[in-house]
Amino acid sequence: MRKNIVAGNWKMNKTLPEGLALAKEIDNAVKGENLNCEIVIGTPFIHLASVADALSSGKIAVAAQNCADKISGAYTGEVSAAQVKSTGAEYVILGHSERREYYHETSEILNAKVALTLENQLIPIYCCGEPKQVREANTQNAYVKRQLDETVFNLSEVDFAKLVIAYEPIWAIGTGLTATTEQAQEMLAYIRSLIVEKFGKQIAENTSILYGGSCNAKNAPELFAQPDIDGGLIGGASLKCDDFVQIVKAF
Ligand code: PEP
């Protein structure tokens, strides 16, 4: 059975004291609740260890938003997968469209990051999704298929089975323009059908696939009710405890 997951992506927001306060607030809000999903908080690197230490509800895992594509050494400013693991984090968000666009992350770089993440027993939340002009040309399926073919579809069955996939149409990220429930369900069902072709029905049925892009407390219940939507990757709405917890409770 695949897991439902609601993952927050704080991006480059919150100082350490602010982040710690938000994490504790969310932790307290879900303590003792009967939830139908796992909660993940994707914090900046500097927050990881403190946030992981501060959580006590047993319901929240911590994610980094990136890691280096090298094992260790003279790479000033980089943070390795092993270093992320040593903080107590359990997940790493990889291939976010902001990293692909602003930091020129290619499929080759992402392959190295996915491999190092897995080698360090961290779970990649692997992002894919098309820009607006691709959606307008109605070629989004081919675009997303290529992103997956060039990266995670090269993994072994054993490794692919450890992944979480997040579909995030770039035109919906931070824009308030959510994909319609039909568009999101259609793409996630398509991704699942590609996983069936590549790795078989059982792995496809067990892979958690998330939707991301202006997901909020209002639209989450309808999105999460779709058969192929196993949760959300949440940007803006993960920065306020009430909003985020309402999304968590949409399951
Ligand atoms: C994201 O960047 O992963 C995201 C989904 O952002 P938002 O929810 O703000 O659109």
CB 179 within 8 A of CB 135: no
15-68 pLDDT, tens digit each: 999 999 999 999 999 999 999 999 999 999 999 999 999 999 999 999 999 999
Flag whether pLDDT at 175 surpasses 90: no
Instruction: Look up the CATH number of the domain holding residue 73.
Output: 3.20.20.70
Residue 131 is part of which domain span?
Answer: 5-248
Residue type, 162: K
104 is catalytic: no
Atom number of ligand 1 nearest to Cα 236: 9
Question: Per the residue annotation, which of 90, 96, 105, 130 is the catalytic one?
Answer: 96
**How far apart, in whole angstroms, are the C-alpha atoms of residue 102 and residue 95?**
11
Tokens at residue 152, please?
């995670």
In the reported structure, the alpha carbon of residue 168 is separated from the centroid of ligand 1 by a whole-number distance in angstroms of 8
Cα of 234 from ligand 1 centre, angstroms: 5
Per residue in 113-159, pLDDT tens? 999 999 999 999 999 999 999 999 999 999 999 999 999 999 999 99
Residue 38 appears among annotated catalytic residues: no
What is the pTM assigned to this prediction? 0.98
> How many domains does the structure of the chain reveal?
1
Residue 202 CB partners (closer than 8 Å, separation 6+): none
Asked whether the predicted pLDDT for residue 179 surpasses 90, the reply is no
